[in-house]
Structure 1
Amino acid sequence: MEKREWKVCVTGGGSFIGSYLVNKLLQKGYIVHATLRSLKDAKTGILRGFPEAKEKLVLFEADLYSPHQFEAAIQGCDFVFHVATPLNHEPGSSQYKNTVEAALAGSKTIFMSCLRSGTVKRLIYTASVLSSSPLKEDGTAFKDFVDETCWTPLNDSLSYVYHDDHHKDYTYSKTLTEKEMLSYNNNENGCGGLEVVTIPCGLIGGDTIQSFASGSIAVCLSLITGNSETYKSLKFLESLLGKVPLVHIDDVCEAHIFCMENSSMKGRFLCASSYVSIAEIAGYYIQHYPEFNVKQEYVEGKKVDVKWGSTKLCEKGFVYKYDTKKILDDTIECARRIGYL
């Protein structure tokens, strides 16, 4: 089949990454099945407003808390992008006790739907760099590099700095689910030729199709807004990873499509174009955006000598288009446009 005849599914199509990815796929001529938790959501209008949507977009209602609902969207597809992830637990759920259980069960069901379809060639899972901490198992020190061999130690006895229950649940959820997804590549019973790719993404900045600032954009701008909650998330990320892996939303979506369009690809590929400290981000804001009066104390953070050592995506031929400067500039421009700044 010609690439443009491929039919692809995007779970979580109304999300920050999902909506941007759906738009890119449509622009490239693919037929897209996208899922949303509710077709009555305002995000539905955004997706249906894309230029190619009338001819090439089909929307489905599906919720990770009822994962069997994804079956219809996956049927007949050649590739599946699993972007959806539960951020907050549904307290009324009797099926799962937390988001970790919901994410794991949902991902397993989606994988089985891909397998049953008989058409899906590759399942691409949107993971988080939170799963890739270079912390040693005892939490006392960092390894020298962050790369695909790094896994965040899920040890209840460790006290991660700046974390709360939400950070902990999300880190456990993304780490355990990614490991589960990758295990299917080594399934002794075979996966019928179905390949699994995971893409742990860094902190995502840049633009948005949504009318509001996503959580990651808010974290990128926390040094400007002074919001204590989003700043705590930024500090948590740095304390877990040594520094902050940054990546532009456009590069994230291009990386996903790159992992689809390659003839054969499976395994884990970290996705970030720069690896900087909070102090470096603050310094850039102070120098180039003095009107925001970023606190000088943000520049005085301690320095950790951990390097970004992941080159797997680039070795495959992927090229990042956005550096630190462009990521931060585009994030500020976007936030101004949507009225967040």
Structure 2
Amino acid sequence: MDKSVITVTGGTGYIASWIVSDLLQEGHKVRITVRNKSDFLKYQHLLDLEGKTEGELSVFEADLLSPGSFDAAVKGADYVMHTASPFFLDDGGDPQKNLVDPAVKGTKNVLEAVNRSASVKRVVLTSSIAAIYGDSREMNDRGLASLDETIWNESSSLKRNAYSYSKTEAEKAAWEMVKKQAEWDLVTIHPGFVLGPSQTKRIDSTSIGTLLRILRGEIKSGAPDLRFIFSDVRDISRGHISAAFTESANGRYIIANESGNLLSIGKVIEAAHMGAYKVPKNLVPKWLVWLIAPTIGFTRQFAKDNIGYPLAADNRRSIQDLKLVYTPLKSTILDHVEQLKSDGLI
């Protein structure tokens, strides 16, 4: 693989840290963007890693909502991996401001920098499986055996699954922008529910927080039958890199594998660590989840449309085109538990 200059936006994030780590180990010149360059503790782990690899790391300050702020980081780059986007389900009462604007305007801001760079050959955008479906019942309603990359989320809105709406609108904006020029192309990556060991001790990721809740016994009385399609963070990193350097790669790629629920996670942990953690041992009936939904952070509509419905993803494109070999879910969970344990977080 030729050594390249690669810009990774939001470079200190859960997924981005793995991408940066893998790129540095391959010897590339990696540029990351951060909101506050003086807060070096957030990227110290990457500086430490740089010294152990043949790669080079540069740090740039940029803000998703500040026009032109990505220009310096993007100018002269061969590839851009745009991972920076808010990921939290609590919209703070203003989904437009807290979710949609950073996702959509931020994506446009980065791609406008790409347009001005004259050097970028390909952009790899971190989208989400949330841009493919909004509610779990949709697969059942459409009579589908699995979700694939041809499907778009058409049900989410500012008032309904705002996070999913933000990811959908950001990806749509990217595809519209790529049509208007011929200098660079676009590949989008669609993770599911991300788990796997983190490069840092940060726990502000929604998925990491969920695993911690399970390990700390916060849902020991039972878990709702809310299904997920899981992704290993290391597989996602490999998917981004392969999408950049595989010339024939094109379009959208689901990077996710096995399906399950929070009880599935609990069973894996219990089998490996008998009695060490108060993991859920049973499912809470759907009628009860619906009844208490407002007290546990759900709406009753969300409970109705998402509890108890099967989910599955067709990841054949990623296997065929990107040559991905997926990490078993059991390994993903246990490796993540070990990382949290060794970092003193559980």
Checking the alignment, whether the CA contact within 8 Å between 1:136 and 1:143 is kept in structure 2 is no
Aligned: 1:176 with 2:161 = no
Unpaired runs of at least 5, structure 1: 160-167
Matches for 1:94-133 after TM superposition, within 5 Å: 97-133=97-133
Checking the alignment, whether the CA contact within 8 Å between 1:78 and 1:119 is kept in structure 2 is yes
Checking the alignment, whether the CA contact within 8 Å between 2:232 and 2:332 is kept in structure 1 is yes
Matching residue's letter, 1:22: V
Aligned: 1:259 with 2:260 = no
Match for residue 30 of structure 1?
28
Please identify, of 327-336 and 258-267, the stretch whose mean Cα deviation from structure 2 is larger: 258-267
CA distance in 2, matches of 1:286, 1:270: 29
Question: Structure 1 residues 155 and 249 mapped into 2: Cα distance closer, same or farther (>3 Å)?
Answer: closer
Match for residue 313 of structure 1?
318
Checking the alignment, whether the CA contact within 8 Å between 2:128 and 2:167 is kept in structure 1 is yes
Matches for 1:294-305 after TM superposition, within 5 Å: 294-298=279-283, 304-305=309-310
Matching residue's letter, 2:33: T
Matching residue's letter, 2:47: R
Question: Structure 1 residues 64 and 22 mapped into 2: Cα distance closer, same or farther (>3 Å)?
Answer: same
- Please, what TM-score do these two structures have when normalized by structure 2? 0.81
Checking the alignment, whether the CA contact within 8 Å between 1:135 and 1:141 is kept in structure 2 is no
Question: Structure 1 residues 197 and 129 mapped into 2: Cα distance closer, same or farther (>3 Å)?
Answer: same
CA distance in 2, matches of 1:138, 1:118: 41
CA distance in 1, matches of 2:158, 2:66: 33
CA distance in 2, matches of 1:13, 1:221: 23
Checking the alignment, whether the CA contact within 8 Å between 1:37 and 1:62 is kept in structure 2 is yes
Please identify, of 64-73 and 130-139, the stretch whose mean Cα deviation from structure 2 is larger: 130-139
Unpaired runs of at least 5, structure 2: 287-306
CA distance in 2, matches of 1:206, 1:337: 14
Match for residue 254 of structure 2?
270
CA distance in 1, matches of 2:54, 2:311: 48
Question: Structure 1 residues 299 and 312 mapped into 2: Cα distance closer, same or farther (>3 Å)?
Answer: farther
CA distance in 1, matches of 2:159, 2:138: 7
Matching residue's letter, 2:5: K
Match for residue 288 of structure 1?
272
Aligned: 1:212 with 2:202 = yes
Question: Structure 1 residues 97 and 207 mapped into 2: Cα distance closer, same or farther (>3 Å)?
Answer: closer
1:326 to 297, 320, 331: 331
Matches for 1:143-292 after TM superposition, within 5 Å: 143-144=143-144, 145-155=146-156, 168-185=161-178, 187=179, 189=180, 191-213=181-203, 214-227=205-218, 239=226, 243-290=227-274, 291-292=276-277
- Please, what TM-score do these two structures have when normalized by structure 1? 0.82
Matching residue's letter, 1:181: A
Report deviation, 1:215: 2.8
Match for residue 164 of structure 1?
none
Report deviation, 1:126: 0.8
Give the share of equivalent positions with the same residue, in percent: 26
CA distance in 1, matches of 2:137, 2:234: 34
Match for residue 165 of structure 1?
none
Question: Structure 1 residues 86 and 306 mapped into 2: Cα distance closer, same or farther (>3 Å)?
Answer: closer
**Secondary structure of the residue that 2:69 maps to in structure 1?**
helix
Q: Deviations over 1:207-242 (max 9, x none)?
A: 1111233332222343332447xx99x96xx75xxx
